[in-house]
Amino acid sequence: MRIPTSLILLFIITCFSSFSQKKVGVFYTGLLLDPVIMNDLIGANPSNGVTNRYSKSPLFPQYILDSLHTKVLNFASVITKGDAEYIFKINKGDTVFTFTGGEIEGFPRNSKKAALLANCDEYLDIRFNLLSMGGSDIRLPNGKQSRLKPSLKVTIKHFDKMGVQLNKYAFNFTDFQWKQGTKKYVFVKSVVERRQAVMHPEDIYVLILKGLDMTEEKVVPNE
């Protein structure tokens, strides 16, 4: 069977695009939570949480961590138009160095100097700081109003392959309300009875996803 020339050209272009996509190394992803929010998470006592050996802060449920890893990498790929991957710092004994305590666990905590050894085309340093105040009221899944008024500070540094800074973005989001009919994410229902003062891991997850969306909307038009 003879294959049309147009299809051959399309195949060649597609293959070339997939192999020529730049490699982006995300060497630092800090997701810092306000101590007040951490205390609320401890009070929530999620059934699938595990105590952190370095602190009394509970680990986030694994399904939330897995999803956050995927979402952050996808976010990095979109804003850089590249193929993003994490670059972890490896300690002696092949131990992966990640965040503990007030940071959401499992994300890379590496230096730019060490990351450059990975020979990526570009590099990213992404930091989120979720505060308990400074924003607007939010309504929890149980229908009650949270006493917390979260705000999210986002800082992104974008470097070239030599470590020279290409761009820096800093945003402070204070409004997490969705307009009617445009809400993209819903809170995950929990099997535990919620208290008005408590924000659960699922709540934090949704706020971070919303923060990623709002950041992407601001960064992508400038890239």
DSSP line for 31-65: EEE-HHHHHHHHHH--TT--B-TTSSPBPPPHHHH
Pairing type for strands 95-97 and 89-91 reads antiparallel
- Percentage of residues in the chain having pLDDT higher than 90: 29
Encode pLDDT of 1-55 as tens digits: 444 444 334 334 433 344 458 999 999 998 888 888 877 776 654 444 434 433 4
What are the structural domains of the chain?
21-222 (3.30.160)
Which is more confidently placed, 37 or 144? 37
Closest of 156, 80, 94, 89 to residue 122, by C-alpha: 80
What's the chain's length in residues?
223
Q: What is the mean pLDDT of residues 138-165?
A: 83
- 143, exposed or middle or buried, with CB in 10 Å at 0-12, 13-18, 19+? exposed
DSSP line for 105-165: TT-BB--HHHHGGG--SEEEEEEEEEESSSS---B-TTSPBPS---EEEEEEEEEETTS-E
pTM: 0.75
Encode pLDDT of 176-205 as tens digits: 765 544 545 545 444 345 555 567 777 788
Q: What is the mean pLDDT of residues 78-99?
A: 81
